[in-house]
Amino acid sequence: MPEKTFKGIPASDGIAIGPTFCYIPAEMTIPVCAAGTVDEEMARFDTARKRARIELRGLCEAIEKRAGKEEASIFEAHQEMLSDPALEGKVRAEVEVGQTVEEALVKATEELASLLAGMNDELFAARALDVKDVGRRILRILLGLPDTALSAVTEPSIIVAEDLTPSDTASLDPKLTLGFITAQGGLTSHSAILARTLGLPAIVGMGNGLLEKVFSGLPIVMDGRTGEMIVMPDDETITRYKQIQIQRESHLQNLKAAADKNAHTANGRRVEVAANIGEVLSARDAMEHGAEGIGLLRTEFLYLEDSQPPSEEKQYRIYREIFEVMSGRPVIVRTLDIGGDKPPSYLPFPNEMNPFLGWRAIRISLDEPELFKTQLRAILRAAVGHRARIMFPMVSDLDELRRAREIVETVKRDLTLASVEFAADVPVGIMVETPAAAVLVDVLAEASDFFSLGTNDLTQYTMAVDRGNAKVSGLFQPLHPAVLRLIRQTIDAGHAKGKWVGMCGELAGMTKAIPILLGFGLDEFSMNPRAIPEAKNLIGKLTDERAREIASQAMSFGTAAEIENYMKGILASL
């Protein structure tokens, strides 16, 4: 097979070279359909077995490296079983009486497995499981389904999938993940954000049919800067990309060394550069990359990993651990931000036409006060001795904010009555991510101690575009003049009321946006940890005056493309 290149949307910087791991979460149900000729069915069987062999070889090598020859020998036995004449004979006999190869395979493996299962000696009887396992592997391949769980990744691989949800990636071992390539999704889809958080390359929006172009075990090279996926790369390509990889590493090391100092503009104004994280591990990563705080601690992961809401104690432990890792730096905890697009099983979600305009975030918290109170108690308790802040997502109305704050006060009263220790002075603010909140900042300031711009949702709601829909995601332009005007308005209105205004959306970490935001007077830039070194470096090159000039020039353009183009020139000149 010659080298072949496919192109998608570059979503996270970096280069990966390695085997493919195809992922489709699906049940293995055999479709009812007429069988082909004996030759056709048997040819499908042979092709499936060939692929199974490639998978097993990969497994074998990986396990041998990790756990030794002994452990790996089981997959050698599986390879032996693939070409077993008894298996083939039984499959053929079934196919010859008109069964599809899938039906024949299920019957054959069941028969052979039961022969073994009936043996007296345990050691031999246990091999029945291996026969079944091999049968399942072949069947899965016949049905066109790759390995069914990301926990099945056993060697460092590039994950290729239709799309990835937070629960898909929950079982993923970051050490075994080289990068993500998805058919669907845009720059802010889960896999793209996760990849940037982990510092892994990602390509999204490859389009339909991605999983027909690759299969597990197939060697590929991916370039997260250009969005290129190279299938079956030749030696020359691999050497070239390995070199780029090495250069990139050393460049990042240099930036990282510079990131340990607090960020200042060229004229000495202190600007806070913080990190967006979603778990304890990335808090450590944030510290390593020079985060001066956590501008956004997402708590959804806690709510999506189980069939019941996380207990107060579990939340307390996790918040506490993160506060401790950040040792005295400010941490903004965003309360529950889920909705119908990723509903947990324990909440009564209605059928929604538009989950992004539906029952989500603060709206759920206000309707489910017990769920909300549990989280607030855990945060307030964990905050003792630390600099925590509480932030409500998706506020669009002053009454919502007042009610949410009332619940915070109720929780504090309850904790006091129960003589439970908690931090009484935790600032409470909101995320500005609806156009309604952005235009109401002066009003909302009555009940909000600070504001943090969530540019992903703000862009989505302002531009009326579903960022996960590849057909329209081109309209998802965070540098659109409409979005930038709302951002500037939010910062100005917040400052006029003496409030601190930060940003925890993707935009805060984009070099093409940072000079403009600096010019607007943004107080805090919170981004994925890996983007921090470069952001600090850029901020240090700009004076406030220069940034204001750039911002005002950028705002004179009428389209996002013109602004991007202008910023490209600015960045090149710095």
Partner 1 sequence: MAEATIQVKHKIGLHARPAALFVQTANKFKSKIKVKNLTATGDFVDAKSIIMVLTLGVMKDHKVLIQTDGIDADLALDALKSLIENNFGEA
Three-state secondary-structure class, residue 124? helix
Beta bridge partners of 220: 18, 231
Element (H, E) at 524: strand 524-527
* Active-site residue, 504 included: yes
Q: Which is nearer to partner 1, 90 or 546 (CB)?
A: 90
* Active-site residue, 190 included: yes
In angstroms, rounded to a whole number, what is the distance separating the alpha carbons of residues 247 and 236? 17
Beta bridge partners of 277: 297
In angstroms, rounded to a whole number, what is the distance separating the alpha carbons of residues 516 and 519? 5
Minimal distance, residue 124 CB to partner 1, in Å = 5
Minimal distance, residue 83 CB to partner 1, in Å = 8
Q: Which is nearer to partner 1, 71 or 96 (CB)?
A: 71
List the catalytic residue out of 78, 289, 480, 504.
504
Q: Which is nearer to partner 1, 32 or 123 (CB)?
A: 123
Give the residue, chosen from 52, 112, 291, 531, that forms a contact with partner 1 under the rule CB under 8 A: 112
Minimal distance, residue 128 CB to partner 1, in Å = 9
Binding-residue pattern over the window 55 to 84 for partner 1, x denoting contact by CB under 8 A: ------------------x--xx--xx-xx
Q: Which is nearer to partner 1, 120 or 573 (CB)?
A: 120
- The DSSP code for 478 is T
Q: Which is nearer to partner 1, 116 or 266 (CB)?
A: 116
Do the Cβ atoms of 355 and 341 come closer than 8 Å? yes
Minimal distance, residue 235 CB to partner 1, in Å = 31
List binders of partner 1 among 113-152 (CB under 8 A): 115-116, 119-121, 123-124, 127, 131
In angstroms, rounded to a whole number, what is the distance separating the alpha carbons of residues 24 and 329? 40
In angstroms, rounded to a whole number, what is the distance separating the alpha carbons of residues 22 and 561? 35
**Count of residues in contact with partner 1, rule CB under 8 A:** 20
Could you tell me the CA-to-CA distances from 375 to 313, 334, 399, 405 in Å, in that order?
10, 10, 21, 14
Three-state secondary-structure class, residue 264? strand
Q: What HEC string does 338-366 produce?
A: CCCCCCCCCCCCCCCCCHHHCCCCHHHHH
User: Could you give the dihedral angle defined by the CA atoms of residues 36, 40, 46 and 49, in that order, rounded to the nearest 10 degrees?
Assistant: -30
Minimal distance, residue 109 CB to partner 1, in Å = 9
Q: Which is nearer to partner 1, 134 or 491 (CB)?
A: 134
Question: Does residue 304 touch partner 1 according to CB under 8 A?
Answer: no
Do the Cβ atoms of 458 and 479 come closer than 8 Å? no
List the catalytic residue out of 60, 78, 190, 289.
190
Beta bridge partners of 16: 222
Question: Does residue 91 touch partner 1 according to CB under 8 A?
Answer: no
Minimal distance, residue 70 CB to partner 1, in Å = 9
Minimal distance, residue 281 CB to partner 1, in Å = 39
Q: Extract the tokens encoding 144.
A: 């066109």
Q: What HEC string does 482-493 produce?
A: HHHHHHHHHHHH
Edge-to-edge strand list for the sheet holding 157-161: 4-7, 228-231, 219-223, 15-23, 157-161, 177-182, 202-204, 9-12
Q: Which is nearer to partner 1, 120 or 419 (CB)?
A: 120
Residues that bind partner 1 (CB under 8 A): 73, 76-77, 80-81, 83-87, 112, 115-116, 119-121, 123-124, 127, 131
Catalytic residue numbers read 190, 504
